[in-house]
Structure 1
C-alpha cells in the first residue's frame, strides 16, 4: 500500500502540534514532513527565543498539546534542571512561568516521542524554507522537491510592519524595526535614551530584555491609547459562568461583558475570570457576528480586548512596575507627529491625547507595533506563489488567509481547496479566538481530523469498492 504524504510548512507550535496530532490519530500509513528552517521544531517565533527575560504568559500548567494533557508541560518542566536553577520562574502561589525556550524544547521532545511511538507513521523534519507550490510538489530553498497529497500552512507571524512615518528612516542607526532579530538589543547601552512605539506584549518583552542588560536610561513607551497588557491572575479562583446571551453586535457583547464583570465582583471574583470564560466561548461568539460587526470590533474594541486577553507574566509585570515607580519608564497615550534625523540620534515629537506636545531626543526608537498580518499573503515566497496561482486569498479583516469552516484555504473565487489547509493564527479571521495556545492546540487537532477525512475520501475515490 502506498504511503500518503502530508507536508506541513512551518515548524512552530502550530505545525509541530498538527504533525503530532496526525501521528496520534491516523490509522493509516503516513509520511509527515515538516518544513522548517530552524534547527529544531516547536520553537517558531514565540518559543525559539533565547532571551532569559522572555517567559510564557500563563502558568506552565495551562500549556499543553491537547485538553487531555493538562498539566503535562508543568510536570515535565519540574523535572528539568532549569526548574531549580531559575528561581525567578517560581511564584508564591506555587505556579511556575518558565522561559519560553523551555516550551520549545518540550515540543521538540514530544515530536521525537511521536516519531518513535507510531511505527506506521514516519515523521521527519526538513530544515529548509518553502519556495513555491507547483502541482502537488513543494519546491524548497535547498533545491529539494517534496511530493505531497496534502499541504498544510502553519505559517508563522510575519515580521513587524514599519509604520509609514518611520519608513524614510528604515536604515537609520537609531531605529530598531525588528527587536526580535538576534543581538539587536545588545547595542543599547545602560544610559541610552529609548522610546518604544507600541505598548502591548511585545513592548513588555522589550522592557524585560532591557532589564537583563541593566538599562537604566530614560524609557518612553507610547501608543494611540497607551494601554498596557494586564497582569495574569495569581492563585486559585472559582470558575465563572457567563449568563446566557443571544446578541448580534459587538456593542451589545461589550455591554454584556461589562455587566458580567460587575456581577462577578459582587461575588468577590476578579474580572479575569469573566474574560477567561469569554475566551473559552470566543470562537462561537466571533462566528455569530456578521462581518460588519467583526469589522467594528477590529476598529474599536480589538486593542482593548488584546490588553485584557493577552496578559503578561508576573515576572515581566514586576520589571515594568519597578521602572515606572523609579520614574525611568513613562507610558503615554500619544501619536508620533514629527520625526527628524540628528545624526546617530532621532528627534521625535509626540502629540498626547490631551493635545500637548512632547519632544524627545533618542538614542534608540524600537518598533513593537506587532506582526504585519495585513500583508501576510505577500510576506514570503510560498505564499506569493500560492497567491499568484489564485489558490489562496487574504481574508477581509486583514488577519491572514481566508479559509472555510474546515480550515481549507479559499481560492480567488471563494471555493475551498480540498488538499490545502491553514493551521494556527493565520486562520483566525474565520475562527476568531485563535492566538492563545489552548485554542491553537484545539485547532491543530481539528485540522488533523479534517486532513484525515480528506485523505479517506481521496482514497475511496481512487479505490472504489468492487461491484458485487
Structure 2
C-alpha cells in the first residue's frame, strides 16, 4: 500500500525516485494474510471498507464486480480474492514508471541485514543473495511474526512433526489426517480460520480447543447500522480507562433501547480509537492491557456471521470441544503430544492429541522478535521496542526512535509495529491511512535521484 501511495503522489511532491520492494514470497502484494488458496478464509471486515485508497471507498467493491470474483455476495469476501486485488494493483506499479517519476523494482529476496551508515542519513540493505541496496530511506513493513511457543519448559515439542507453531505456514493443515485428533491453543480469529480450514478439508476427528478465557470472537451484526459519534462531546481528553468504559457502556444501553446493536456503538469509535489510547498515560494503558484488552479484542475484532455459524455447528455436533485453562507444558507422547492444562483453583489435567496447533495470535513484542533484521537494528540501538510489548517506538510520522530518543532520519515503519502510538494498527482501514500519510511525509523529504526501499 505504501508503494501504491508513493506512485500516486503528484509530480510536484516527488521527483524521479527508485523504490526497492523487498519481498521473498512468490508474488508481491498478498503477503502472509491473503496468500492462502482457501476460499473458506473470509475477511473479517466488510468489503465496502477495504478499498486500498481512502478517497475511493468503492474501489475494491467495484473491482469485485468487474472481475466477477464474487458476483453474488460482497459483504465478506474471501482473503484470496483480496490478495489478488492487491497483487494486481502492485503489478501495475512494477510494470512501468509512474507519472511522477517513481520506478519500483521488486527483489524476490529476504532482507538479512540493515546497516545504518555513520552519517545517519542513509542505509544499506543486504539481501539473502548478497545484493546490497544503498537507500536514503528504509521502511519496515514487516507485518506480523509467528506466535511464541505456548509452553516455555522442555521445548522438545517444537521439533515434533505434529506440532504446528505457525498455522499460516504453507501447507500447515495438509498433513493432518481426516480422522486424526487435533488440539488448538486459543479461541481467536486464527482458531476460527483453522477450524474452517479443517472443516473444508473434510476433517472428521475430534478437535479440542484450549483457552484461558473460553471466549470466541463476537459476531458482526447481520444488518449494518450506524450510531452517531460521541467522541468529541464525551470522550475527548478522558485520561482514565474506567471513565471511557463508563461512557461506552452508557451508549451501548442507549443504543439497545433504540434497537441498535452494540456493534454499531463500537464501530462509531473506530476513527478516534488512536486518540482515546493516546490520551491515557502509560499506567492507564498498562491497566487497559491487563484488564480490558482481552475482552476488547473479542468485541472489536469480530467474525463474519457465516463463520460464527459454522463454528457453532461444529460445537453443537460435538466435533469441537472447548476446554478452559492455560497450557503449562507440551510433551511428546506415544500417540502424538500430551498437553498439560491448568485452570485456576483446579488440579492440572492432561489432554492428548495427534496434532497441536498454536492459534494464540501474532507476536507483537519486539523485545522477543528474533528476526535477523529486527535483532540487528535492536542491538545497534536503531530500533527500540516499547515497554508494554506492543511494537516499536516511533514518532508521529512512523520514524523509528533511537536508543537516545531521537527520531531516525532514515528508518520508518508502518502497520502492527506502530501499535504503541495508536493501539489499533492491524486492519486495512488503519493501514491505508498510515500508507497515505507516510507516502506524503517521504514525498516532502525526498530530493531528486534519491532512493527509498
Instruction: Decide which of 227, 240, 244 is 2:234's aligned counterpart.
Output: 244
Distance 1:24 1:379 in 2: 35
User: Using a 3 Å threshold, how does the CA distance of structure 1 residues 422 and 59 change in structure 2: closer, same or farther?
Assistant: same
Query: SS of the counterpart of 2:446?
Result: helix
- Residue aligning to 2:83: 104
Taking the TM superposition and a 5 Å limit, the aligned residue runs for 1:121-270 are 121-134=102-115, 135=117, 136-163=123-150, 164-165=152-153, 167-242=155-230, 244-245=234-235, 246-270=237-261
Confirm whether residue 389 of structure 1 aligns to residue 370 of structure 2: no
Aligned-pair CA distance for 1:458: 12
Contact 2:10 2:100 in 1 (8 A): no
| Whole-Å separation in 1 of the counterparts to 2:421 and 2:448 | 24
The reply to whether residue 301 of structure 1 matches residue 292 of structure 2 is yes
SS at match of 1:244: helix
**Match of residue 3, structure 2, among 6, 19, 27:** 19
TM-score if structure 2 supplies the norm length?
0.90
Is the aligned partner of 1:371 residue 2:362? yes
Q: How far, CA to CA, are the matches of 2:355 and 2:433 in structure 1?
A: 40
For the Cα contact (< 8 Å) 1:240–1:264, is it kept in 2?
A: no
Instruction: Answer with 142-151 or 25-34: which moved more.
Output: 25-34
CA distance 1:359–1:143, change in 2 (3 Å): closer
Question: Relative to total residues, which structure has the larger helix share, 1 or 2?
Answer: 1
Kept in 2, the 8 Å contact 1:407–1:423? The answer is: yes
Determine helix, strand or coil for the equivalent of 1:256: helix
The C-alpha deviation readout for 1:144-170, integer Å capped at 9, x for no partner, is: 111211111111211221122573421
SS in 1 for 2:5: helix
SS class of match (2:103)? strand
Paired with 1:132 and 1:247, the residues of 2 have a C-alpha distance of 42
**Partner SS for 2:32:** helix
Structure 1 position 21, deviation (Å): 0.9
Residues 235-294 of structure 1 show CA distances to partners (whole Å, capped at 9, x for unaligned) of 232333225224211222222212211111111110111111222210110111111111
Tell me the equivalent position of 1:407.
398
Q: Deviations over 1:202-225 (max 9, x none)?
A: 101100111011112221212211
Match of 1:57 among 20, 44, 49: 44
Question: Secondary structure, in 3 states, of the residue corresponding to 1:330?
Answer: strand
TM alignment of 1:224-373, pairs within 5 A: 224-242=212-230, 244-245=234-235, 246-337=237-328, 339-352=330-343, 355=346, 358-373=349-364
Deviation at 1:63, TM superposition (A): 0.5
For residue 423 of structure 1, what is the aligned residue in structure 2?
414
- Partners of 1:299 and 1:434 lie apart in 2 by 19
Q: Flag the structure with more relative contact order, 1 or 2, with Cα contacts below 8 A and sequence separation at least 6.
A: 2
> 1:450 — aligned with what?
441
Please say if residues 333 and 352 of structure 1, whose CA atoms lie closer than 8 Å, have aligned partners that are also in contact: yes
SS in 1 for 2:239: coil
User: How many equivalent pairs are there?
Assistant: 435
The alpha-carbon distance between structure 1 residues 388 and 357, as it changes in their structure 2 partners (threshold 3 A), is closer
- The Cα of 1:453 is off from its aligned counterpart by 2.3
SS in 2 for 1:373: coil
Q: CA deviation at 1:388?
A: 2.4
TM-score normalised according to structure 1 size: 0.87
> Any runs of at least 4 consecutive aligned residues in structure 1 with deviations exceeding 6 A, and if so which?
none
CA distance in 1, matches of 2:100, 2:285: 45
Per the alignment, do residues 149 and 339 of structure 1 end up closer, same or farther by CA in structure 2, a change over 3 Å counting?
closer
Query: Mind listing any 5+ residue stretches in structure 1 that lack a counterpart?
Result: 1-16, 460-468
> Contact between 1:41 and 1:104, CA under 8 Å: does it hold in 2?
no
Further displaced range: 377-386 or 97-106: 377-386
The residue number in structure 1 matching 2:62 is: 75
Deviation at 1:338, TM superposition (A): 5.2
Match of 2:101 in 1: 120
Structure 2 CA distance for aligned equivalents of residues 146 and 30 of structure 1: 14
Distance 1:198 1:123, change over 3 A: same
TM-superposed CA distance for 1:188, in Å, is: 1.5
Query: Contact conserved, 1:227 with 1:333, CA < 8 A, in 2?
Result: no
Change (3 A) 1:166 1:97: farther
Identify the range of structure 1 (258-267 vs 198-207) with the bigger mean alpha-carbon deviation: 258-267
Question: What stretches of structure 2 of length at least 5 have no aligned partner?
Answer: 118-122
Q: Structure 2 vs 1, CA of residues 238 and 156 (structure 1 numbering), >3 Å: closer, same or farther?
A: closer
Question: CA-to-partner distance for each residue in 1:36-58, whole Å, 9 max, x for gaps?
Answer: 11122211111112223211112
